[in-house]
Amino acid sequence: MTGSPPTALRPQHPAPRSLRSLAEQFGLEVRGELADLEATGVVLSSNTVRPGDLYVGVPGRNAHGAQYTAAARDAGAVAVLTDAAGAEIAAGAGLPVLVADDARATLGQVAAWIHRTAENPATMFAVTGTNGKTSVVYLLYGILRQLGVTAGLTSTAERRIGDEAVTSSLTTPEASELHALLARMREVDVRAVGIEVSAQALSRHRVDGLVFDVAGFTNLTHDHLDDYPSMQVYYEAKRDLFEPERSRRAVVTVDSEWGARLAAEAGVPVTTLTTRPEIEADWRITVLDEQPAHTAFLLEGPGGRRLETRVPLLGWYMAANAALAIVMLVDAGYALEGIAAALERDGGIDAYIPGRAERISGERGPIVYIDYGHSPDAFLQTLDAIRRTTTGRLIMVFGADGDRDTTKRADMGAIAARGADVVVITDFHPRWEDPAAIRTALIDGARAAVPDREIHEIADPRAAFRAALALAGDGDAILYAGPGHEDYHEVKGVKIPYSARDDARSALREAGWPA
């Protein structure tokens, strides 16, 4: 990994594609002269144009992308693809214009064509659900490596090819970035790819132009109700992944009613998986042992197939995530016996998931977990998992996103107050909102649920974590939920450097504990 990673991974030896053929292939209206022009890439932002790229200008919340055609031209774009309104805007910029009815809806197929995604031999795995997507993608990646398979992934945290990684901005990249990433993976002979697919990605055409070999579903709980008017509409956005246009087959966790509905309504063959003894499913997970540093489980499937292993992470749900990854591999054609042998050889699953219940404390002192959970169910599950493996007190530090689903704040406060002995409420990406008002919403939720819970309100996250640490001793646990792998705080449009993991390590050392 380099010190200053590039923002996107692209093929280093792209094969040029004729723009005239592209226009014919996709029935695009051409304004201007294409002559023998060729494109070697396709991008959605003028800021990422490289010479030879096709720039795609789509309407956004703030601007029409066609407004940046001149900037794209100056950076070396050979043409612009946009809609009718964009074509008017781009007219004076001196680039040939390709016109589509809906440029964003065309982008996926165009990017797939330019990067020849259909010829990519890698097995493609998609993972969706409210919580657990990143975890499953890293677990797939880890197990594939244990099997000796060259693997890649894209997640909320990173885009990763072997040991090369860049930091992600979106959970699921825009289609232009995704197909370029897959082309780069093909150049280095990646044979299997795990792709985290958000509901927003499905709604916004980011995974168009790709048919996944196996799609996996974790769960569906309250989140993103700023983007979707109801849980039903949020569910429908996810369900779209489980249609033949997007996937060949699916593995669905049926612990929840949403999962059971999905298994019944999916348009592709479904294999089911559960952790609950009372639910019927093809595969069943039984948790055998829960420890702060690992969870052991038994996976049993059709025809008496079994696999007993452990995942180096806290919580029953990590066993569920690991089992989902294993069943997805089996459905893609990897032999369960081969997986079992590789895991046994290595003493269990070998995976590192940045900032997911990541233990950053040493052998002595309070156990400190930094987690990315920022939804009510994620809080519930992580608190429960820590409670089950901790003898001492449980102190939780958290805040809530500004300018995101405000309806979940009261629940987040309530769940924290019920699950933790002490709650420390702090700031977390206030963005353009008043941070004090966000804290108040969380505190009100907490007080309504448990009026006498010990609650501290400390705006500065560094001070909040140190206050939590001052209250903790050997045998106690601190859950700092929200920041996970992130290395910034977003305040009024500015990303201020802040790594909860680094800061918590420093705080532990300042307090005389190993970290």
Ligand X SMILES: CC(=O)N[C@H]1[C@@H](OP(=O)(O)OP(=O)(O)OC[C@H]2O[C@@H](n3ccc(=O)[nH]c3=O)[C@H](O)[C@@H]2O)O[C@H](CO)[C@@H](O)[C@@H]1O[C@H](C)C(=O)N[C@@H](C)C(=O)N[C@H](CCC(=O)O)C(=O)O
Give the residue numbers of the binding site: 44, 46, 129-135, 171-172, 198, 206
**Which of the residues 296 through 335 are near ligand ATP (CB under 6 A)?**
317, 320-321
- Strand intervals (E) in 155-294: 158-161, 164-167, 192-196, 212-217, 247-253, 270-274, 283-290
Q: Residue 272 touches which of ligand X, ligand ATP, none (CB < 5 to 8 A by kind)?
A: none
Which position has the token pair 């420093």? 506
Least Å distance, CB 61 to ligand X, is 4
Q: How far is CA 249 from CA 96, 264, 267, in A?
A: 41, 13, 9
In the bound state with ligand ATP, the residue whose beta carbon lies nearer, of 56 and 124, is 124
**Residue 298 pairs with which residues in a beta bridge?**
286, 308
Check residue 292 for interaction with ligand ATP (CB under 6 A).
Answer: no
Exactly one of 201, 220, 332, 353 binds ligand X (CB under 6 A); which one? Answer: 201
Least Å distance, CB 482 to ligand ATP, is 10
In the bound state with ligand ATP, the residue whose beta carbon lies nearer, of 57 and 354, is 354
Binding characters for ligand X, 211-230, by CB under 6 A (x = yes): ----------------x---
Q: Residue 62 touches which of ligand X, ligand ATP, none (CB < 5 to 8 A by kind)?
A: ligand X
Phi-psi region of 218 (alpha: psi -120 to 50; beta: other; left: phi over 0): alpha
In the bound state with ligand ATP, the residue whose beta carbon lies nearer, of 10 and 238, is 238
In the bound state with ligand ATP, the residue whose beta carbon lies nearer, of 59 and 483, is 483
Check residue 256 for interaction with ligand ATP (CB under 6 A).
Answer: no
**Which of the residues 496 through 515 are near ligand X (CB under 6 A)?**
none
Q: How far is CA 88 from CA 44, 169, 490, in A?
A: 18, 30, 35
Residue partners of 90: CB distance under 8 A and separation at least 6: 57, 66, 69, 80, 82, 97
Exactly one of 38, 83, 174, 503 binds ligand X (CB under 6 A); which one? Answer: 174
Least Å distance, CB 203 to ligand X, is 9
> Which range binds ligand ATP by CB under 6 A, 46-54, 125-133, 286-294, 325-333?
125-133
Report helix, strand or coil for 21. helix
Report d(CA 320, CA 277) in Å as an integer: 13
In the bound state with ligand X, the residue whose beta carbon lies nearer, of 235 and 387, is 235
Least Å distance, CB 392 to ligand X, is 32
**What are φ and ψ of residue 327, in 5° steps?**
-65, -35
DSSP state of 511: T
Q: Side chain identity at 234, as an amino acid letter?
A: Y
Residues in binding site for ATP: 129-135
Q: How far is CA 513 from CA 78, 134, 223, 365, 464, in A?
A: 58, 30, 36, 6, 18
Relative orientation angle of helices 175-187 and 103-114, to the nearest 10 degrees:
10
Report d(CA 357, CA 338) in Å as an integer: 29
Nearest-CB residue to ligand X?
A: 60
Report d(CA 217, CA 253) in Å as an integer: 6
Least Å distance, CB 408 to ligand X, is 12
Check residue 176 for interaction with ligand ATP (CB under 6 A).
Answer: no
Report d(CA 232, CA 263) in Å as an integer: 15
Exactly one of 7, 21, 25, 47 binds ligand X (CB under 6 A); which one? Answer: 47
Residues that bind ligand ATP in the complex, under the rule CB under 6 A:
129, 131-135, 156, 171, 196, 198, 218-219, 317, 320-321, 356-357, 371-373, 377-378, 381-382
Residues in the site for ligand X, rule: CB under 6 A? 44-47, 58, 60-63, 65, 68, 170-172, 174, 198, 200-201, 204, 227
